[in-house]
Amino acid sequence: MPQDVLQDRPVSPVLILPALHVIVCIIIEFGISDNAGGWKWFPMFWIDFPFVFVLVKIAHFIPNVWAYTVFGTLCWYGVSVVFRYYYRKLVLDK
């Protein structure tokens, strides 16, 4: 595929994982009560598993909703960019 065609493509596939992550964070923040004794953000532990160790440390300084929503979404954006890079390199450069 010519390089100019790749540059004209929309970047929306890169935004799918981060957008889903933000939606799940909003659902957890406004849809789940915190009556479970601090287990409100436990689903995000599994979703953000590779990054959760850093996010838990960040959550000591700022509220969980900001730690998981902002920084977790940035992590998933990074994963999407890496996937796109390797997809272009391995599949489209053949």
Cβ atoms of 45 and 52 closer than 8 Å: yes
* 27-43 per-position pLDDT tens digit: 988 887 777 667 887 88
What per-residue confidence (pLDDT) applies to 72? 86
Q: Does the pLDDT value for residue 11 go beyond 70? A: no
Cβ atoms of 78 and 31 closer than 8 Å: no
Give the pLDDT band of residue 53 (cuts 50, 70, 90).
Answer: confident
Q: The whole model's pTM is what?
A: 0.73
Q: Does the pLDDT value for residue 70 go beyond 70? A: yes
In the chain, the percentage of residues whose pLDDT exceeds 90 is 4
On the 0-12 / 13-18 / 19+ scale of CB atoms within 10 A, 58 is middle
Report CA-CA distances (Å) from 35 to 5, 26, 38, 40, 49.
52, 17, 7, 8, 23
CA 31 distance to own-chain centroid: 19
- Tokens linked to 88: 């272009």
Q: How far apart are CA 21 and CA 49, in angstroms?
A: 13
Higher pLDDT, 30 or 59: 30
